[in-house]
Amino acid sequence: VDSAEIIAVGTELLTPIRLDTNSLWLTGELADLGITVRAKHVVGDDRADLAAAVRQSLDRVDLVMTTGGLGPTHDDITREVVAEILERPLVEDAGVLEGIRERFARRRRPMPEINRRQAMVPVGGLVLANAHGTAPGLWLEANGRVIVLLPGPPRELQPMFSRHVRPKLADRSAPSRTSRRVVLVAGRAESQVAEAVEPLQARFRDRPDPVAMTILASPGRIELHLRATGADGSAREAALEAAAAAVVEVLGAAVVSTDGQSLEAVVGQRLADRGWTIAVAESCTGGLVTGLLTDVPGSSAWVRGGVVAYANTVKVDQLGVDAGTLAAEGAVSEAVARAMAEGVRARLEADVGLAITGIAGPGGGTPDKPVGTVAIALSGPREVARTFHFGGDRQMVRQFSTAAALDMVRRAIDPT
Ligand code: ATP
Ligand code: MG
């Protein structure tokens, strides 16, 4: 198996309400296995459209994967359409039926009769167990082609692929010739990073195991995607290691991680290493920073809490910011950010206090403090206060602010 097409099935995927993320995820997994995805398709829950897509894909590539449409309702048609194309009659599988019954029994509910449809298996098909839902997946082979049917919900599809499909595909594809690594950078503009790493590009390319580098920027965070190619896996790893080290050399402390760890995870790690806790006072970010900090598993060990201090009265009453300072300096000022950081640290009894106050826009800017002006302060291990001038719309300013605040904490706590 070396080429694949992915067909995402679901009428909702053809509307603005839902994006096909399954094929994105699968493309990464297949690339890992050295299988090239030649095309991705999105089709609605329509028999003729799906049949046409499957037929065309079977003509072009040796692996066709579908996602979605394996459920029990009448608009879930993938199983039937594929069985028809392969001319395989559908037969009820007693084992699958029992599994579905048990799943309902565990929830103390009778199995609705329509779920029986999910126990229908095309003759010769291999059933892929679904640990997180009722719809089993299917692996089929015909005329030298492999056809894999996977359920739509990502939390069902991903473990099913990893557990049952990936090992089978690995057996049938040439050993992978690429390895990847992501270097995460914060606190630098994309152009700065691009300029700094530019001289490395040629060096990486000319290695015996060449490493290609792509830059992916989002507000406040820049990812350098490194991809090494070569026949030998450990040589590729060594090439990635050397490339990551070279990036660290030119970017220094701006490098957050070289192993795929997120900014918030690195901050959490550094706090955990010291046994420190953090409390956050947020104005223009409205809780985004605390949200990200608590995204990290285990964060209850280092996050004390946060105060969304949007109104001036909340800054005064809940955080103890001096009303005089507020009036004199304005809500968006280093003095107020500093007072917010101190206040939240003291009142929430944390080791580190972090505060963000700014103008996200579109309104509220002045010639003095235009939209994008954001003051961020840290209290505790070090006293830091800084004013940033971010570009972009409201959403971007909030994201830049969030990343900059987390990065301020990261830089203030040296790695152990
Ligand atoms: P179910 O038994 O849950 O009905 P199914 O295999 O029939 O599973 P669908 O009904 O097609 O799957 O989709 C169920 C849900 O899974 C969708 O509402 C959507 O939230 C999600 N989903 C489906 N396809 C995709 C996709 N390609 N990318 C991301 N999410 C998807
Ligand atoms: Mg469904």
How many C-beta atoms surround the C-beta of residue 187 within 10 A? 21
The dihedral of CA 407, 412, 415, 416: what is its sign? negative
pLDDT of residue 229: 87
User: Could you say which ligand is closest to the alpha carbon of residue 68?
Assistant: 1
pLDDT of residue 213: 94
pLDDT of residue 368: 93
Tell me the best of 67, 80, 148 to mutate to test the pocket of ligand 1, counting ligand atoms within 8 Å of each CB and taking the most: 67
pLDDT of residue 270: 97
pLDDT of residue 42: 98
Ligand 1 atom with the smallest distance to the CA of 150 is 6
Question: For residue 208, what are the contacts with CB-CB under 8 A and spacing of at least 6?
Answer: 230, 235
- For the chain, 416 residues long, the average pLDDT of each consecutive 10-residue run is 96 96 95 92 98 98 97 93 97 94 92 92 95 93 96 95 95 84 95 94 88 93 93 93 97 96 98 98 98 98 98 98 97 98 98 98 94 97 95 96 98 89
Whether the CB-CB separation of 270 and 413 falls below 8 Å is answered with yes
pLDDT of residue 370: 95
Does residue 10 line the site of ligand 1, with CB under 6 A? yes
pLDDT of residue 51: 98
d(CA 347, CA 279): 9
Residue nearest to ligand 1 atom 24, measured at CA = 152
What sections of 121-232 are H helices per DSSP? 154-160, 166-172, 190-205
pLDDT of residue 207: 83
Q: Cis omega before residue 159 (within 30°)?
A: no
Ligand 1 atom with the smallest distance to the CA of 45 is 11
In the reported structure, the alpha carbon of residue 74 is separated from the centroid of ligand 2 by a whole-number distance in angstroms of 9
pLDDT of residue 143: 93
Does residue 257 line the site of ligand 1, with CB under 6 A? no
The answer for 60, left when phi > 0, alpha when psi is -120 to 50, beta otherwise, is alpha
pLDDT of residue 231: 86
Ligand 1 atom with the smallest distance to the CA of 153 is 16
pLDDT of residue 235: 94
How many residues are there in the chain? 416
Does residue 7 line the site of ligand 1, with CB under 6 A? no
In the reported structure, the alpha carbon of residue 77 is separated from the centroid of ligand 2 by a whole-number distance in angstroms of 9
Whether the CB-CB separation of 349 and 304 falls below 8 Å is answered with yes
User: Could you say which ligand is closest to the alpha carbon of residue 155?
Assistant: 1
d(CA 395, CA 20): 23
pLDDT of residue 208: 84
pLDDT digits (tens, 9 = 90+) for 12-70: 999 999 999 999 999 999 988 889 999 999 999 999 999 999 999 999 999 999 999 99
d(CA 358, CA 361): 9
Question: For residue 150, what are the contacts with CB-CB under 8 A and spacing of at least 6?
Answer: 22, 65, 66, 67, 68, 70, 128, 137, 157, 160, 161, 165
Whether the CB-CB separation of 224 and 204 falls below 8 Å is answered with no
In the reported structure, the alpha carbon of residue 153 is separated from the centroid of ligand 1 by a whole-number distance in angstroms of 4
pLDDT of residue 175: 77
Does residue 122 line the site of ligand 1, with CB under 6 A? no
Whether the CB-CB separation of 281 and 343 falls below 8 Å is answered with yes
Burial class (CB in 10 A: 0-12, 13-18, 19+), 83: buried
How many C-beta atoms surround the C-beta of residue 359 within 10 A? 24
pLDDT of residue 162: 95
Ligand 1 atom with the smallest distance to the CA of 42 is 27
Tell me the best of 5, 11, 22 to mutate to test the pocket of ligand 1, counting ligand atoms within 8 Å of each CB and taking the most: 22
Tell me the best of 13, 14, 116 to mutate to test the pocket of ligand 1, counting ligand atoms within 8 Å of each CB and taking the most: 13
Using alpha carbons only, give the angle 194, 251, 288 rounded to the nearest 5 degrees.
Answer: 85
Q: DSSP of 32-49, one letter per residue?
A: HTTPEEEEEEEE-S-HHH
Pseudo-torsion of CA 179, 213, 251, 190, nearest 10°? -130
d(CA 351, CA 336): 19
Does residue 13 line the site of ligand 1, with CB under 6 A? yes
Burial class (CB in 10 A: 0-12, 13-18, 19+), 91: middle
Question: For residue 137, what are the contacts with CB-CB under 8 A and spacing of at least 6?
Answer: 70, 127, 128, 130, 148, 149, 150, 151, 157, 160, 164, 165
